[in-house]
Chains A and B, each alone.
Chain A
């Protein structure tokens, strides 16, 4: 699985949505992505990429696209 696939997977599995729905998705844009969902998403991403995210990055993680930016800039995940 490519990193992009793993990333998309974390969203589709955590929020039970399709790949199509992940594009442009923002925090609280769907009911599943609330504070509880956010913690699950972070856990899924940490597992998928074997990383430990910093507090600042967890609270800056405000959209599907922003998350990719954070993972590539701070955690050396190449997309």
Chain B
């Protein structure tokens, strides 16, 4: 079993923003009933939201070795239908209101606003015995590519996270990320391990209801992607009175150093913790973290490997880099490195293809003290007039220079396109980048668009910009 719910039987496990709650004992009972209704190891599509019904489904499946594919409940119906045909799950666990579209399939069981539907696919794909969970690599797209996580992966990463964040049963994290997104899920996993109370809401930080729920329930922590922190900055978060808030974590991409500094200093001053972390779905969730007490001193760093994990850098020849401040590809080793990918039903029987080692595709450096800094991604660079230009670094430079400007740079060799959302800045941005790179201005073109396309975890979708220049 992944979690021992009986150990905390009288603690509240889940508190919903609609006022309902569930103790650990009740969660144990709910998960038992749902698992009994299914009765065998099989594949289930679980349509996630930050609600009690959704968490009951997920925990029931993990505890009872039923394999869920976690998808956003708001996934486009056409994309969902494609995934269903590709993987032929035996069941669907979904919000009651979604079941109308699937009236051909039998309702087996319902609880807390969720319904279990039995599908009628004849095809059954065999499941590798250690396969525990399937997640998409990006939050909202309907790509059939899933990351295969084992029970050991989830158990290890959950334990590692609870350890380095020093979680205990007094915690009351509030949900700010989708449950089907690996970072959001890791918060649920690690807090259930320690008997904490999880505050469930689908409201966003742009809604009054979020903040009143947070204050009423005395939330002690939340997580956010870089965009979350940009929004909080614009919302003048630093002026809010949140005495119960103890910890803020950040992952899902590199926060610009200016904001990292701002939040780290705010936390230090107010006696709170600001923890920058690093991870990927391919490593279950987390690989690195910057201890809160180092947040100011090592600003801009994503920290060190989590307990039980190891980082190292390799150069283009695959040789290990031993000198500080040299860029190489980041490699991680640990029990949380996932099995591999699945792109079709036949892949679900595949075993461990990575053997505990993950080449992250991220380019990094470490300093004299062994703290790691992400400097880019392996494939996000252009050659301009023979010079290698890192696009992520260009984005960060622009954001650092032009406060509150939304931008994204991309392109093809010898032609860089700088997308911005504010026409007034267009000329200055170009001048700035030309000056910083020292390259001829003919290589750069600024394109003004309404908004920078992002996925629901706030990562820029550079692919969607291609239509403007290809």
Contacts and interface: CB of A to CB of B under 8 A. Distances in A.
Given A36-B458, A55-B236, A60-B208, 4 more contacts: A35-B204, A36-B227, A59-B205, A59-B235
Contact of A59 (B211, B227, B451): B211
A39 B208 contact: no
A37 B452 CA distance: 10
A60 to B, nearest CB: 6
Most buried by A among B227, B450, B454: B450
B75 to A, nearest CB: 12
Contacts of B458: 36
A13 interface: yes
Interface in B1-28: none
Contacts of B239: 55
Interface string A37-79: 1111011000000000001001110100000000000000000
A22 interface: no
A16 interface: yes
Contacts of A62: 207-208
A37 B456 CA distance: 12
Task: Classify chain B's interface size.
Answer: 20 to 34
* Majority-rule SS of B interface residues: loop
Main secondary structure of the interface of A (DSSP, over half): helix
Interface string A18-43: 00000000011000001111111011
23 contacts: A13-B450, A14-B450, A14-B451, A16-B450, A27-B207, A28-B204, A34-B204, A35-B204, A35-B205, A35-B231, A36-B227, A36-B451, A39-B206, A40-B421, A40-B450, A40-B451, A55-B236, A55-B239, A55-B240, A58-B206, A59-B210, A62-B207, A62-B208
Nearest to B240: A55
Top 6 nearest A-B pairs by Cβ distance?
A: A35-B204, A38-B206, A35-B206, A59-B208, A55-B236, A55-B235
A54 to B, nearest CB: 8
B470 interface: no
A35 B232 CA distance: 11
A66 to B, nearest CB: 10
Contacts of B211: 59
Interface residues of A, number: 19
A39 B204 contact: no
A36 B456 CA distance: 9
Contacts of A37: 451
A25 B211 CA distance: 22
Contact of B206 (A13, A16, A43, A59): A59
B20 to A, nearest CB: 21
Contacts of A60: 208
A41 B204 CA distance: 15
A37 B227 CA distance: 12
Interface string B333-369: 0000000000000000000000000000000000000
Interface string B215-240: 00000000000010001001110011
A57 to B, nearest CB: 10
A14 B227 CA distance: 18
B206 A27 contact: yes
A77 to B, nearest CB: 20
Interface in B399-455: 404, 421, 450-451, 454
A51 B458 CA distance: 27
Nearest to B230: A39
Contacts of B236: 55
